[in-house]
Structure 1
Amino acid sequence: MFKRVFALLSLVLFSASLWAQSHGNASPDLSQEGLVLERWNESVRAGVQAFGQLVFGYSTANEDLSVDYVRVRRPDGQIANTPVSSAQDFAPDVLREAPMYSDFRQKHISVVDLQPGVTLEYHVVTRVKALAAGEFWYEYSFPTYAALTDGTLQINVPKSREIKLKSPDRKYDTHDDGDRRIFEWTVRNFVPKRSKREEEEDLDNDEPDVQISSFTDWQQISTWYAKLQSERAVPDESIKARAAELTRGATSADEKARRLYDFVAQSIRYVSLSFGIGRYQPHAASEVLQNGYGDCKDKHTLLQALLSAEGIKSYPVLVHSDRKLDTDVPSPAQFDHVITAAKLGENLVWLDSTAEVAPYGLIMYGLRNKQAVVASSDSIGGFAAPHLRFLYKTAPS
């Protein structure tokens, strides 16, 4: 299990410190640094099974991850160190045949002498270059499948920054230290009531325990992602040529959109990598076309570029495949999927090209009527609720 934070750090597992930079003290390239200290009491066998191998994910495109130490502390006080040099660096299995995503990596460390009753300690530092200049966001859920004697989450932010913070079911303490504001959550003597698998399968347990974001409204996120993504969706000559080939003989914009959707859905292999894992910015549309595969944001970007080449406006739509959008905390962390909203006449047609065999205009049941964000810097940007092809939504002019 690992959590990711952009513009802050990668924060893994449970007892941790999180340090958010401000505009004033961020380094010139807007990189952010943070420290993570993890301390676990593995008093049950499930803990050994869950943490016998530690996995830390990071993106070489904008992150640098180092493991300072991994060790177990026995009840008699003796310490068994796991050599940091034993860490193995892998691409996730889903990406082994997708070299376009070679920047996303995982460090795997097999823990030496982990057994019931010992305490697992490790220290990981991740330095992250911000993708949204001067902004940070993070969410966290306390694990409920492992026994803990003492666990702490600490978030340290600039006191002057306006933030959105939500922790409905977990109490926390707040104190100031100079120009910093520190939020701290503590859990003690926790006994698990279910397994890790049961927790992961609980679809009603999808709201994070803690959410924090420096974005103050959803339009900021809509505009930020539109700008981040739009430069990758500019059609070059290869895109224009393929669009012309695919739409030859089509007599309406709707028929052109249908043919272009069918091509991206059926001919571009889908790589199942959640939005925000590895990177938020898609690859260039021409690169996706040349390689013949892409994740959700890449497939949307190619479809947007092809539509643009034929004079059809479209937008990326940020949505989560499972949980409901919490409108109280504007945060990119709330999304794991990207689909397409194509403007045809005065209407929006919702398209999910990752479904591959789904007919034009059909989106999966779990996405229908779910609140989402249309990423755009114009008047169409903002909340939306994707629905079926035959239930048009009138788009703003």
Structure 2
Amino acid sequence: MATISAPADLALQWRQRGAFIVTDATLDGTRQITVELKEDGPGALPEAHMVSPLDVQPIFVATTLPSYEQIGALYFQQNAGKDTVTPAVRQLADQIAQGRTGLQAAHAVYGWVAGHIRYLAVWLDPDSGLVAHSADEVIRNGYGDCKDHVVLTQALLAALEIRAEPALVNWDNRTRPLPLWSSAAFNHVMVYLPDYDVYLNPTNPFARFDALDIGLSNKLVVIANGKGEVRQTPASEASDTDTTFRPLLCSVPTV
């Protein structure tokens, strides 16, 4: 059983999915919410290729945030200025683009960031920081987590006059949103190009520029701009996962 105590005037919302017994009462200016599972049975062992447990297990979410849009707006505020176009960023952007513009330039930037910035992951969860390093720091370090890849990509694209925004998403086998908006709904951030309606995942050096892998396709996504926007990533197509196999040629020594 869990208990939440809060001031009665605090804008606290909750929602459940699954078998819970919930009481929500206010006394002497204090609101108290108690949550208990109807049946506390044994957990199930994971199986190969099973759906995410978060898709089927009981979940209770409580939050003071008013919406998913507010989560996007807060992320935007916390990372304001991290994508500043400095002389180092502009010089690198020009080297990468080599005169290309628009989507061709974006393609080149995506390829450079995915191929040159090592991915050190810090998962986006309620206990981790949501603030990226600056683009200059990421260039100097040569590594970063998903937030850092996004900030650098944003800065390089901004130097080439291409708009780019962070996009909060969960990159795993979950298929259902949580019953209520929460930062726990996201463990990853990627790049959204609003002028082209294209999503980029620069932390994955093996992903094609114009395709999302199965863990990112057809997912709830929150665009982290000044007002926050809730969208859905495009569903993956069979052609997105096409692979061309080339024969391996080798010589066999003769005795």
TM-score bucket of the superposed structures, by smaller chain: 0.7 to 0.9
Does the CA contact (< 8 Å) of 2:218 and 2:236 recur in 1?
no
Cα offsets for 1:141-177 (capped at 9, x unmatched): xxxxxxxxxxx21112221122220123211223334
Tell me the CA shift for residue 312 of structure 1.
Answer: 0.7
Determine the structure 1 residue equivalent to 2:244: none
Q: 1:188 to 1:257 in 2, by over 3 A?
A: closer
Q: How far apart are the structure 1 equivalents of 2:33 and 2:24?
A: 5
Determine if the alignment matches structure 1 residue 216 to structure 2 residue 66.
Answer: yes
Asked if the contact 2:138–2:152 (Cα under 8 Å) also holds between the matched residues in 1, the reply is yes
The residue number in structure 2 matching 1:359 is 208
The number of residues matched between the two structures is 232
How far apart in 1 are the matches of 2:59 and 2:133?
32
| Identity %, equivalent residues | 25
Once residues 50 and 4 of structure 2 are traced to their aligned partners in structure 1, the CA distance between those partners, rounded to angstroms, is: 27
Asked if structure 2 preserves the Cα contact closer than 8 Å seen for 1:163 and 1:212, the reply is yes
1:199/1:167 Cα in 2 relative to 1: closer, same or farther (>3 Å)?
A: farther
Q: Any conservation in 1 of the 2:221–2:231 contact (CA below 8 Å)?
A: yes
For residues 283 and 200 of structure 1, the distance between their equivalents in structure 2, rounded to whole angstroms, comes to 37
Find the counterpart in structure 1 of residue 185 from structure 2.
334
Matching residue's letter, 2:25: H
2:231 alignment partner in structure 1: 384
- Kept after mapping to 2: 8 A contact 1:246/1:259: yes
Deviations 1:282-332 (A, max 9, x none): 111111111111111111111011111111101111111232453752222
Letter in structure 2 aligned against 1:253? G
Shift of 1:209: 1.5
- Corresponding residue of 1:282: 132
CA distance in 1, matches of 2:210, 2:120: 21
The residue that corresponds to 1:43 in the other structure is none
What are the ranges of 5 or more consecutive residues in structure 2 without an aligned counterpart? 238-255
Q: Deviations over 1:46-103 (max 9, x none)?
A: xxxxxxxxxxxxxxxxxxxxxxxxxxxxxxxxxxxxxxxxxxxxxxxxxxxxxxxxxx
State the alpha-carbon separation in 1 of the partners of residues 112 and 236 from structure 2.
18
Q: TM-score, normalised by structure 1?
A: 0.54
In the alignment, is residue 269 of structure 1 matched against residue 118 of structure 2? yes
Counterpart pick for 1:203 among 51, 58, 61: 51
Corresponding residue number in structure 1 for 2:194: 343
Give yes or no for contact 1:296–1:339 (8 Å, CA) kept in 2: yes
1:307 matches 2:157: yes
Q: Which amino acid aligns with 1:282?
A: A
Gap change, CA 1:200 and 1:191, over 3 Å in 2: farther
SS in structure 2 at match of 1:353: coil
Matched, 1:248 2:98: yes
Comparing 183-192 with 271-280, greater Cα deviation is found at 183-192
Matches within 5 A, 1:107-256: 152-169=1-18, 170-186=20-36, 190-195=40-45, 198=46, 202-207=50-55, 209-250=59-100, 252-256=101-105
TM-score, structure 2 normalization: 0.81
Decide which of 360, 364, 374 is 2:223's aligned counterpart. Answer: 374
Q: Does the Cα contact within 8 Å between 2:178 and 2:185 map onto a contact in 1?
A: no
| Alpha-carbon separation, structure 2, partners of 1:388 and 1:166 | 28
Higher relative contact order (CA 8 A, sep 6+): 2
* Residues 370 and 210 of structure 1, relative CA distance in 2, 3 Å threshold: same
1:315 partner letter: E
Tell me, in whole angstroms, the C-alpha distance in 2 between the residues paired with 1:292 and 1:176.
Answer: 53
Out of 298, 304, 311, the residue aligned to residue 148 of structure 2 is 298
Shift of 1:279: 0.6
Q: Secondary structure of the equivalent of 2:215?
A: helix
Determine which structure has the larger strand proportion and give its number: 1
Which residue type is aligned with residue 237 of structure 1?
P
Q: Write the distance in 1 (CA, Å) between the matches of 2:178 and 2:16.
A: 14
Judging changes above 3 Å, is the alpha-carbon distance between structure 1 residues 353 and 388 closer, same or farther for their aligned structure 2 residues?
farther
* Shift in CA distance, 330/311, structure 1 to aligned 2, threshold 3 Å: same
Question: What secondary structure is seen at the aligned counterpart in 1 of 2:152?
Answer: helix
Q: In structure 2, what is the Cα distance between the partners aligned to 1:384 and 1:316?
A: 12
Return 5+ residue gaps in structure 1 as ranges: 1-151, 391-397
